[in-house]
Amino acid sequence: MLGKLFSVRDGLKLPALWRWLLTLAGCLLTGLGLALACRLIDSQSLRQTLAQGSLWFTALFLALACAVFALLTHSLFIGSAVTALLSVLLTFVNYFKVLITSVPLSLGDFTLIGQVGNIATLNASAITFGRNSILAVMGVVLWLAVGCF
């Protein structure tokens, strides 16, 4: 059995079914971790993050996005990294927009991208990174570092 899976010359070769299952499991775990990190950034409270029922829907959506990027790039790490970058970046943009204007991020806000510098200088005092935001980003970076190996 092991002779079919491992040879010194070729390295570890798993059957296609196992590769698909491991990729799916990696995407699901990445989606769950990113959903937790994004909710922690957004709510700044671990208790609120775990109490929200929609966390599982967010995790499933992010897992699906991770799977799509992983299939397009043929790499679970790159799929996870792209999904993490996009989701954490959009979560921070939403968090700071709600902090400044009390209105969540919408599609129309992307037309204001050229004025980000002016908005940031006017509201510099409100733009601070909380302890939970830093912990969430560190968790995402740690998960990607573990996934790299």
- Three-class HEC string of 96-146: HHHHHHCCCCCHHHHHHHHHHHHHHHHCCCCCCCCHHHHHHHHHHHHHHHH
Any residues with CB less than 8 A from the CB of 34 and at least 6 apart, and which? 59, 62, 66, 83, 84, 87, 88, 140
121, 104 contact by CB (below 8 A): no
Cα–Cα distance for residue pair 47/98, rounded to 1 Å: 20
Nearest to 66 by CA among 39, 87, 96, 89: 87
Span 62-105, pLDDT tens digits: 999 999 999 999 888 999 999 999 999 888 888 888 887 878 87
Span 8-61, pLDDT tens digits: 455 567 777 888 888 899 999 999 999 999 998 888 787 877 777 788 899 999
DSSP character for 44? S
* pTM of the predicted structure, to 2 decimals: 0.77
Paired strand residues for 11:
7
45, 133 contact by CB (below 8 A): no
